[in-house]
Amino acid sequence: MPWYNKGTRCGHGTLGSCNDGWIQIEICSDGMEHQDYFNGVYQELIELISYLCKVFNLNPKGDKVILDHAKAFSLGYANNGTDISKWLNKYGKTLDNIIKEVAKNLGYADTTNVIVAY
């Protein structure tokens, strides 16, 4: 779709809809049969989300910045529709991987193994 079109892919949850104010990305899977295709699409996804976070000054580690359909539903902002996790999981990836890779692209430090001294 053109950049200026409003996506309407997530429906409405109990708290409203991600259709109003969120960036939505659709991925065309190939029947989940070709890892080379997945790898290429996955890399494009990381680059596109990184670009959008940079343009709109979004912290990719924010609670409501990078969501898949399931996460948006759990937060009350989508219907309980299908999700990309089945395709991601087949190739060892998750939504958390996407968030971490986007954060890394944008120079956010990995804080998962930081020890805080008091």
Is the Cβ–Cβ distance between 107 and 100 less than 8 Å?
Answer: no
Q: How far is it, in rounded angstroms, from Cα 83 to Cα 22?
A: 17
pLDDT tens series, the chain, 118 aa? 666 666 666 777 788 777 766 777 777 777 788 899 999 999 999 999 999 999 989 999 988 888 888 888 888 888 877 678 888 989 999 999 999 999 999 998 765 544 444 4
Q: Evaluate if pTM is beyond 0.85.
A: no
Q: Is 36 helix (H, G, I), strand (E, B) or coil?
A: helix
Contact residues for 114 (Cβ-Cβ < 8 A; gap 6+): none
